Amino acid sequence: MSTVKEAPASVVRRRLLRTAAGLGVLVAFGATAALAPTFAASTLERAREQGYIRIAIANEPPYTEVKANGEVTGAAPEVTRAVMKKLGVPEILPTVTQYGAMIPGLQAGRFDIVSAGLFMKPVRCEAVLYSQPDVCGSEAFMIEQGNPLGVESYEDVADNPDAVIGVCGGCTEEMYAREAGTPDDRVVIVPDGPSGVKMLQTGRINVY
């Protein structure tokens, strides 16, 4: 069983209504493309010697779930755990981390790999080495039943003065919301997935 260390805040990757985007639960090694093979090899060697590898995760069931007793499960860490065992690393040490802080934390050496659904973008591929994606998913908003605001896109959210969207801090969805023109007072950063659902249920936000 792995216990989890809490970072300043955890966040969750949200979904875009009617836009099916190819995603992957990815492992990213902190290195430029030119240095990646050497860096990955040295990271693996150190992890084998230590008997564990440090991973960044997001609290985003079912991809990643942090249970009340601190146990970490879900698709992403289970895949990482299985791969690491085959590579001779018996344990993973997870840290719940904001999506926007994952690559900077990787580069700063606060963890060794990222085991989360980071969107593959050219600018990120210049900074880290991605594994092959092992999970793809479609995107959707979570909204009140019946869609009373009639939102079907980020542009709809931006154009509706009553729409308040919850997003993960520093993630692609926050970027989409702001690029669509949603003002700051209608963009709420959610700490994690369960909190986002509660905020939707209580009316703090009405799009998630």
Over 80: is that where the pLDDT of 11 sits? no
Over 60: is that where the pLDDT of 154 sits? yes
By the 8 A CB rule, do 132 and 153 touch? Answer: no
3-state secondary structure of 48: helix
Over 90: is that where the pLDDT of 64 sits? no
The predicted-structure confidence for 16-25, as pLDDT tens digits, reads as follows 332 333 333 3
- pLDDT interval class at 160 (50, 70, 90): very high
Cα 75–chain centre separation? 13
Cα distance between residue 42 and residue 36, in whole Å: 10
- pLDDT interval class at 29 (50, 70, 90): low
Cα distance between residue 105 and residue 145, in whole Å: 38
The average confidence (pLDDT) of the chain is 80
Q: Tokens 């060794």 — which residue?
A: 112
Tell me the CB-side half-sphere exposure of residue 172, using CA atoms within 13 A: 14
Peptide bond preceding 183 in cis form (omega within 30 of 0):
no
pLDDT (0 to 100) of residue 42: 85
pLDDT (0 to 100) of residue 37: 54
Walk me through the domains of the chain, giving residue ranges and CATH numbers: 5-11+21-130 (3.40.190.10), 154-202 (3.40.190.10)
pLDDT (0 to 100) of residue 94: 92
The predicted-structure confidence for 31-41, as pLDDT tens digits, reads as follows 444 445 555 66
Cα distance between residue 35 and residue 39, in whole Å: 6
Tell me the CB-side half-sphere exposure of residue 47, using CA atoms within 13 A: 25
Q: Tokens 């990646």 — which residue?
A: 36
The predicted-structure confidence for 71-99, as pLDDT tens digits, reads as follows 888 888 898 999 999 999 999 999 988 88
3-state secondary structure of 71: coil
pLDDT (0 to 100) of residue 140: 85
The torsion angles phi and psi of 123, rounded to 5 degrees, stand at -65, -35
Distance of CA 153 to CAs 11, 45, 64, 161, 180, Å? 21, 46, 26, 14, 9
Average pLDDT over residues 113-134: 82
Over 50: is that where the pLDDT of 193 sits? yes
